A and B are shown apart, each in its own frame.
Chain A
Amino acid sequence: MEQLNTISDLSALSNEKKETGETVQYIVVRLGEEQYGIDIRYIDNIVRMQRMTRIPKVPAYLKGVINLRGEVLPVMSIRLKMGLENDEYQRATRIIILKLEQEGNVGIIVDEVKEVVTLGEDQIEKMTYDSKDGKANFINAVGKHNNELISLLDLSSITLEENV
């Protein structure tokens, strides 16, 4: 039921006008005060925050594992991965389940899921790589939508494992 609620929330949000040409749908999430976009094609599911089991001796950003319909799924904090403050779990906190080809499914924790936007090619500006800025490494483009900027997350670098 939890999942159904959130998914119907989501579809309610997605009454966006379709743009012509190459368009990609992004789910806009909030982390702190900033907005980030996640390519909807990589999203398997969005679930509410739930009881998590800690795993010892793993990097701090790996928050633990959850039970998602009988499967054990690792959950990571992109806040910690990006060097932000630790997550504070609130009512709006969600786990976004990403489907990755190599590693299987992984959950990431976001402060809030806001809406679904459709961005055309002309609304996306590729980022130039800046090695000094650690945070920028996780973003590969910026999308413009209703006079707001959305940082588009580079999922491969976020989910890339740090070899400790």
Chain B
Amino acid sequence: MSIIEVKNLSFVYGIDTPFEKKAVEDVSLSVDEGEVIGLIGHTGSGKSTFVQMLNGLIKPTSGQVLLAGRDIWEKPKEIRNIRFKVGMVFQYPEYQLFDDTVYKDISFGPRNKGYSEKEIDEKVRNAARFVGLSERLLKESPFDLSGGEKRRAAIAGIIAMDPDVLVLDEPTAGLDPKGKNLLLAQIMQYHKQRKNTIFIVSHSMEDISRIADRVMVMNKGRLEMLDTPRNIFAQVEKIESMGLRVPQITKIMMTLKERGVNLPDGILTVEQAFFEVVNLLKKEGKI
């Protein structure tokens, strides 16, 4: 069943002023429960505006967002409830930490949601476990944590609200490779257990191709492509014409194919590439 359905969604900034700008234009799609959707597009393509319409932070100029079949703006006064169902992690979320302990900070969302103390405690500890924050750290001030820990504490604050849909805007921006890989692994582990729907915005095509079931490509406010990573990244030219890149390994394999080497389309990871190359060598009896 589709958990989120977006119908002809548009948003225009500064209507009736000289600065009028269409940020999102006529986007429609439907996302199934448990899917991981990667969202790519260069800066200014409307990605951020689009994801902020999913949890009602921005009200669409026209079109609808249906969550489990119901328009999220059906009762505008209760829009706050939507934000607990569609959890949103902004870029550099560590800049939103404010309470005196990590525990209290993570509990901010669940408390707003109206959970009982017992439930809050359970949700906070679960969320902390998902992102790999130890019990000891929960008592610390969030401002004393390392950069990577702060990031994970902030993400835990959203996970603790137990949303059905989790939106992550560039969760790994600014982290080093070690921190990045760790965080991605934790998010995927969480997804595996909780089985909820995830939208992940990223500039790293390598990351997107590794974790997404389907990829949305946005360009100039429009949804240009929506398909599996394999099919999306097979269209190197189209992707590059929108100022985006494909993963390096995909590019290498595609170029080889163009030069007449017998390789399949849309190879996304080094492991796949290695597998295909070895296969080919075996077939030709070179090894």
Chain B binds chain A: no
